[in-house]
Amino acid sequence: MTIATVRNLRRASQIIFFVVFFWLILKTNFSANFNPADPHEIRLPYPVSIALEFDPLTALGTLLANGTVYKGLLWSLVILIPTIFIGRFFCGWVCPLGTLNHWISEIPSERIKRKGKQKMDSNRYKRYQRIKYYILFFFLTAALMGTLQVGLLDPLPLLARSIGTVILPVIHTSADGVTGWIKSLGVPPLTAAAQFLYDLLAPLLLTFRKMHFHTILTIGSFFIAIIVLNRIFTRFWCRGICPLGAMLGIFSRFALFGLEKKESACNHCNECLLHCQGADNPDIGAVWRQSECHLCLNCQGVCPTQALSFKFFPSQEVSKSNPAGTAKIDISRRKVVASLAGGAALYPLFRSGDAFAANTNPYLIRPPGSVSESDFLARCIRCGQCMRVCPNNALHPTFMESGLEGIWSPLLIARIGYCEPSCTLCGQVCPTGAIVELTLKEKVGDKETPPNRLGTAFIDRGRCLPWAMARPCIVCEEWCPTSPKSIYLREETVYNSRGEAVTVKQPYVDPEHCTGCGACEFACPVKDKAAIYITSVGESRSSDNQMLLKKKKEIPQYNLRGNV
């Protein structure tokens, strides 16, 4: 196999993994197929979070934070173990964010810096590339202490989150907008063409209902920044920031596969430097850095004199003008200690905040089956899979609702969508067990099993039509999905503005039965700010955040599974 073939294989691999990743996110969506074995339970036809389960950093982070490698995360060894032998093939061949950065970086530019000598210089190893290791150490000790932040910068959750909550909704809005505008022109052939294209794309790219997400701008700007930086420094993210790249760099420390440089054959044309993705010094005269190399094989491919070749057990032809061999990772002990200490300090810094005394956010409603808040923050990687899969668009990334510590973790906003009683999809797709996979029985409960509760509904009597405005309504009671209903009505005679007696049915909440699903808040006709709303008190996942005195068996145990 020639090197040209291998490079083409690498390109094909990048395309395939990118497409598969994107496709899995598209399929992280409720498509109305029931499990044929159990017509009452709705399951996704594919294991859509599989791509995230291959992520070694997620596996390591969750292992440090909560002591287990959850379910499918064992797949990450499929990436990690080969890395030990051959190096960072993941970055050059597999990683979909790496691929995106690669493509964006390689778009031809008019800027002089991206050509010739400047480009050569920019592709030499730079000190800023050490930052990613410090970020990694910082996150890992933070995880060990109990706050899992790797997902913010881990490329797979980052890309899944950005595609799911930003890119796909933006595509949907654009498609609707453009089609609507073309139709408004009123030219029949154009309308037909637009409709045809729309119908062609809709099943592929668009959700059944257009999704809207909270704090889309923070996630979007972060993603755009990563993409734009590629135009200034080739693969800036991969070289300088990516903690997964850093982790794989460390794991490739003892790799058997590497670059062999033959000084005698080299004509110093520097083609290798012009095409280097990882800035790992492939040129003769500098020390090659295994931990920076993405194994894109461009250097070997473009070398006109066959001076460079990747092989197992590369021979090290050391001379004064060619300091061959593999350099140690370029990090200083002091800074490693500093980043470890910084990460360790992050946990007490976060957890000394008032939210961990009593001043919790009452509107922080977590998805059904979520583990207790402290465990949740040790598990959630903010991949956004639960938000993408929620058929009611109920789950959203937080901004500051769960503090800086929980940024972009899931939040249920009932005004936009309530939690469907018969749905357990968010737990099915969660790759880390922050949301436990519930059975339908655990979700809705029956005579023996208590239902999963997200919180409790409260009535704002100052805004409620029968309470404050002498008008009939009862929509909240109508929508309440529990049986018996958690909203009960009492007839009351009230007086309207003309002084006439009116009999209305005023709603009351029965906290004994309320599951906090938010259907009442969703349906309440007081449009801007609902007259009935849910807060988190009574949530199954917390043993503290309760108001009713309950028998012990009424507290479901599955939420504590991750805890023991």
Separation CA 302–CA 120 (nearest Å): 14
SS3 533: strand
- The angle formed by the CA atoms of residues 81, 85 and 90, to the nearest 5 degrees, is 65
SS3 381: coil
CB of 210 to other proteins, least distance (A): 9
Query: Among residues 102 and 485, whose Cβ is nearest to other proteins?
Result: 485
CA 347 to chain centroid, in Å, comes to 21
Backbone angles phi, psi at 485, to 5 degrees: -65, 145
Query: Among residues 126 and 471, whose Cβ is nearest to other proteins?
Result: 471
Query: Among residues 115 and 529, whose Cβ is nearest to other proteins?
Result: 529
Query: Among residues 238 and 413, whose Cβ is nearest to other proteins?
Result: 413
What is the chain's alpha carbon radius of gyration, rounded to the nearest angstrom? 28
Query: Among residues 304 and 472, whose Cβ is nearest to other proteins?
Result: 472
Separation CA 392–CA 497 (nearest Å): 38
CB of 187 to other proteins, least distance (A): 17
SS3 367: coil
Query: Among residues 95 and 465, whose Cβ is nearest to other proteins?
Result: 465
Query: Among residues 241 and 476, whose Cβ is nearest to other proteins?
Result: 476
Query: Among residues 108 and 188, whose Cβ is nearest to other proteins?
Result: 188
CB of 40 to other proteins, least distance (A): 7
- The angle formed by the CA atoms of residues 38, 39 and 41, to the nearest 5 degrees, is 75
CB of 409 to other proteins, least distance (A): 24
Shortest CA distance to 516 belongs to which of 559, 487, 550, 556? 487
What number of CA atoms fall less than 13 Å from residue 200's CA on the CB side?
7
CB of 433 to other proteins, least distance (A): 26
Separation CA 509–CA 490 (nearest Å): 11
CB of 190 to other proteins, least distance (A): 17
CB of 365 to other proteins, least distance (A): 19
CB of 548 to other proteins, least distance (A): 21
Query: Among residues 121 and 478, whose Cβ is nearest to other proteins?
Result: 478
Cross-strand pairs, 362? none
Shortest CA distance to 391 belongs to which of 431, 425, 358? 425
CA 466 to chain centroid, in Å, comes to 43
- Whether residue 164 contacts residue 408, with contact meaning beta carbons closer than 8 Å, is answered with no
CB of 45 to other proteins, least distance (A): 14
Query: Among residues 31 and 267, whose Cβ is nearest to other proteins?
Result: 31
Shortest CA distance to 379 belongs to which of 434, 335, 302? 434
Query: Among residues 180 and 353, whose Cβ is nearest to other proteins?
Result: 180
- Whether residue 54 contacts residue 76, with contact meaning beta carbons closer than 8 Å, is answered with yes
Task: Taking the CA atoms of 171, 175, 178 and 181 in sequence, report the sign of the dihedral they define.
Answer: negative
Helix, strand, coil fractions of the chain, as percent rounded to 5 = 45, 10, 45
CB of 418 to other proteins, least distance (A): 9
Task: Taking the CA atoms of 532, 537, 539 and 540 in sequence, report the sign of the dihedral they define.
Answer: negative
- Residues at the site binding other proteins, with contacts judged by CB under 8 A: 30, 32, 34, 39-40, 42, 208, 391-392, 420-423, 465, 471-475, 477-485, 489, 505, 523-525, 527
Q: Position of tokens 């989150």?
A: 161
End-to-end CA distance of the chain: 53
Strand runs labelled E in 75-178: none
DSSP secondary-structure letter at 396?
A: E
For residue 193, which amino acid is it?
A: A
Q: For residue 194, what is the enclosing H or E element?
A: helix 188-205
Separation CA 29–CA 19 (nearest Å): 17
- Whether residue 437 contacts residue 427, with contact meaning beta carbons closer than 8 Å, is answered with yes
- Whether residue 17 contacts residue 78, with contact meaning beta carbons closer than 8 Å, is answered with no
CB of 546 to other proteins, least distance (A): 24
Query: Among residues 29 and 49, whose Cβ is nearest to other proteins?
Result: 29
CB of 204 to other proteins, least distance (A): 17
CB of 171 to other proteins, least distance (A): 17
Query: Among residues 178 and 341, whose Cβ is nearest to other proteins?
Result: 178
